[in-house]
Every structure is written in structure tokens, then in C-alpha cells.
Structure 1
């Protein structure tokens, strides 16, 4: 029987690298961030509520939501972030559930969800898989990737559930403190066990 695998991690943990590799191996990956973008486009189901709450100042010249302007609001105010999540998450869930049922009929399905545990979506999964790095590695990678200073990197990391907690709550863990080859080897092992 095909299984639903919840794939999660933290910012700069390597979750996207893992997801890309799993996709290359032929498994469907349903990416919550892709659904979130679709739901917030000007023809998307969450768009009207977002504009109604946050106002027209967040709309760019093309009529789309300016992600930087919206991000500046919600990243610095947890209450506003909650409002945005209440508008977007149900739509993401609905779109993802629709595609999950189709994909499950032919294959195991991976749900790429950054906030898997935070939103209780782990309960919809047969297996939870966290891409883990220690915090110092996470800080260094985020500083290098996004050109952040240390305090900016820490602020982003601290706005999420600690990876150590996600690791504890997961069925399986991919340790990404080493090389990409190490990560890919762990994924290969996981996939071969999945197919047994």
C-alpha cells in the first residue's frame, strides 16, 4: 500500500535539496510553498481575504501581492502572521489533499511542508521525515545563502520550531551535517526501505 510521507526541516536545513533529489527518483512531491503561492496569486482563493485585511498597499503594479511588503508586516508581528496563516493554510490544505489522493493511487507521496508539526499535519502522514542540521551549521548556511548577518539568520531560525524538536517528533531523520553525497545516500537507504 502506498504511504504518505511528511517531509520537513527548517530554514537552510537542506529540505529543498532532499525534495529535489526524491523528485528526481520519480516520487511525487507536493510542495506546500507552491500551493501557498498559487493560493495568494490574484486569481487565487486566499487573495481577496489577504487584500481585505492587509490593504491595497501590499499590491504591486502588476496587481499581485508584493511578497516583500507582506513579509515585512508578518515577519515582525506574530498576530499578523497568524491572520495570514488562517487565510492561506486552509486553501493550501484543500489543494494538497486533492492532489494527494490522485498521486496515492499510483505511488508513495511526499508532502513537502515546512510547518508540518506546527500545523498538526503530521497526523495525516504515515511517516514523518525531518532533514536535520545542528544550529551552527544552519546559521552558517543561512548567512552564506541569503547574505544575512548572524543576528538576521538567528531571528529567522528562532521564528521556527527548533530542528531538535522536529527531529525528536519524527519517525525518520536525514542528518544533513555532512556532504550532499551523504544526504543522498541516506535518502537512497530510506527509499529502498520504503519499497520493501
Structure 2
């Protein structure tokens, strides 16, 4: 796969830091194609998929909702408290997600700019798919507050989700661009404008 002709922005950060806000802005303001790991990961576990069958085999039929779809909340309760199970699940899903990214990149016209939104860019070893890495950063208290509010989690659940990922500071240390989302939306978007024009 030739990524040399493209500008491929790997957009990452922690859970609840504002990746979606940045991706939506890049799509709307700059008309950039957005490829989203979360969408591919949801596709990977659609009813009837071999990956979903593997998950049901491992955790029992209770992991499925009445509709046959994955019960995400129940799966979350298992994997966010058990690193080994989280690792097992990622081994099922990450190869599928990587293949979808590769297909999307190969379909791009020459010399394109595109955005790959990959929450686990480092953890899933997908940095080779991008030409630069942008990390969206907030301080830990803001991250907790946003997560509790957005996903209606308890403090313990929110902390478990944050702790299941590489620390934000470590991600920032590996980034080409750090977007600080701890003040206003306007301040964040100004940083995005500067980064895209760099």
C-alpha cells in the first residue's frame, strides 16, 4: 500500500477528549474524507459476522441482545475490567479494522488528504497507516467529567475506561500535533486550522 502520495492524518486521543468534534470540523470545513475506526469496529460485529459468533462463543448467548446484536454494555463490563479479555477482543477486531483502512486509502485519488480517526492508533499498532499523528488532549478531570456526562457512567466505570487506554500524556509525547481541547471550541478549531495549513 502506497501512502507516500497522500497526507494521512491519524487523529487520536483519549476517550471523551473531542476527536469527533475535530473530525466533523475537518469534514465540514475542509471537505476531507474521514475514515473512522469505530465505524469499522461496529461493522466487524454485525449480526451474523464471524467475529460476533466468536464473541458469543466465548462469552455465551447473554452477550447478545434479543435482536441478535452485540450487547455493548455487557461486553464493556467484561473487557474494561479484564485486560486479558480486552486483548482477546482486540485481536478479533483490529485486523478487520486495519483491512478496511487499507481499502479506503487505496481508493483515494492521488495526492489526497484524508483523516483516519483511530482511538487506539498506538495500542493497535496502526501508526504505519498515517503520515502524521494528531492527538486531542484534555486534562484528566475534564475527561472524567465528559465521560460521566456523555455515557452516563459512574466514576469507577469512567476511570476503568480511561485506564484501559494508553495515557494521554504518552500519546501527546508521540504526536506530531497536540490539539488542546481544555478551553473553548473556538480555541480548539483555531489549532485545527493552524495544523491543517502547516
| Both proteins in one fold, TM over 0.5 | yes
Q: Structure 1 stretches of 5 or more lacking a match?
A: none
**Is the partner of 1:128 in helix, strand or coil?**
strand
1:127 to 126, 132, 136: 132
**Whole-angstrom distance in 2 between the partners of 1:21 and 1:44:** 32
Q: Is the 8 A contact 1:174 1:187 kept in 2?
A: yes
Q: Structure 2 stretches of 5 or more lacking a match?
A: none
| Greater mean alpha carbon deviation, residues 164-173 or residues 153-162 | 153-162
**Is the partner of 2:122 in helix, strand or coil?**
coil
* Counterpart residue number, 2:8: 4
Give the 3 Å change call, closer, same or farther, for CA 58–150 of structure 1 in structure 2.
closer
Count of residue pairs the alignment pairs up: 193
| Greater mean alpha carbon deviation, residues 116-125 or residues 170-179 | 116-125
* Counterpart residue number, 2:108: 103
Poorly superposed stretches of 4+, deviation over 4 Å? none
TM-score scaled to structure 1, two decimals?
Answer: 0.91
**Whole-angstrom distance in 2 between the partners of 1:109 and 1:133:** 24
2:176 to 156, 171, 179: 171
* Counterpart residue number, 2:44: 39
What is the RMSD computed on CA atoms of the aligned residues?
Answer: 1.7
Q: Is the 8 A contact 2:44 2:93 kept in 1?
A: yes
**Whole-angstrom distance in 1 between the partners of 2:50 and 2:6:** 30
Residues 145-173 of structure 1, C-alpha deviations (whole Å, 9 max, x = no match): 23334333322222211111100001111
TM-score scaled to structure 2, two decimals?
Answer: 0.90
| Greater mean alpha carbon deviation, residues 98-107 or residues 37-46 | 98-107
